[in-house]
Amino acid sequence: MKIVGISGSPNREGSNNHMIERSLDIAKQRGFDREKITLANANISPCTDCHVCRTQNSCPIDDDMAGINSSLESADGIIVSSPVYFGSPPGQLKMLFDRTLPLRRNGFLLKDKVGGALAVGASRNGGQEYTLLAIHAWMHIHGMIVVGDNSHFGGITQKAADTDEEGMKTVEDTVNKLCDTLDRLAAR
């Protein structure tokens, strides 16, 4: 089984990268294949509402989204990490969410995949829960199975995540819950 981790930050080496790296390390220790998508390295254009994906199984925009959508379709679990920008995810991550519409319109291709969300803010209560809810909304719209950290909505850290022990525990709990859920589904 495969888990895809998305670092939804425009910062290549910041807290989101650290949280996704830690998540994928846990997934590896638990025996999962993993793949990392870093939006700081991705060329993603906004959706133009051209409606091509209503009639074709593709998007006419030539950028990195075809490969990203392929990676998401092949995943069993998806974990998304986001910084908080004015109480919500940054535009780069929203563009990715919008451009996954072909996966929904062409057979709900993310349905029943397990999803978890992580967020980092400037302070302990810096808008992380609203950001997690935005990620959860995207997952629910795709029909995904959404998990949290066993007590709240998911992994919540404050800057700098690598020194936030309390926050990193929620990240670890979230990815472990995602792995536990995939293991349970596979055992059926």
At 97-140, the pLDDT tens digits run 999 999 999 899 999 999 999 999 988 888 999 999 999 999 99
Q: What token pair was written down for 10?
A: 């425009």
Q: What token pair was written down for 48?
A: 């133009």
Kindly state the DSSP code that residue 111 receives in the 8-state scheme: T
User: How far, CA to CA in Å, does 148 sit from each of 69, 91, 102, 129, 156?
Assistant: 23, 23, 26, 11, 10
Query: What is the average pLDDT score of the chain?
Result: 94
Enclosing domain of residue 107 = 2-187
HSE value, Cβ hemisphere, 13 Å, CA-based, for 108: 10
Local structure of 15: helix, strand or coil: helix
Share of the chain above pLDDT 90, in %: 82
Kindly state the DSSP code that residue 85 receives in the 8-state scheme: B
Length of the chain measured in residues: 188
CATH assignment at residue 156: 3.40.50.360
Place of tokens 């808008």: 127
- How much is the pTM? 0.95
128, 90 in Cβ contact below 8 A?
Answer: no
Per 3-state DSSP, what percentage of the chain is helix, strand, and coil (rounded to 5)? 45, 20, 35
Band (pLDDT 50/70/90 cuts) for residue 17 is very high
The number of folded domains in the chain is 1
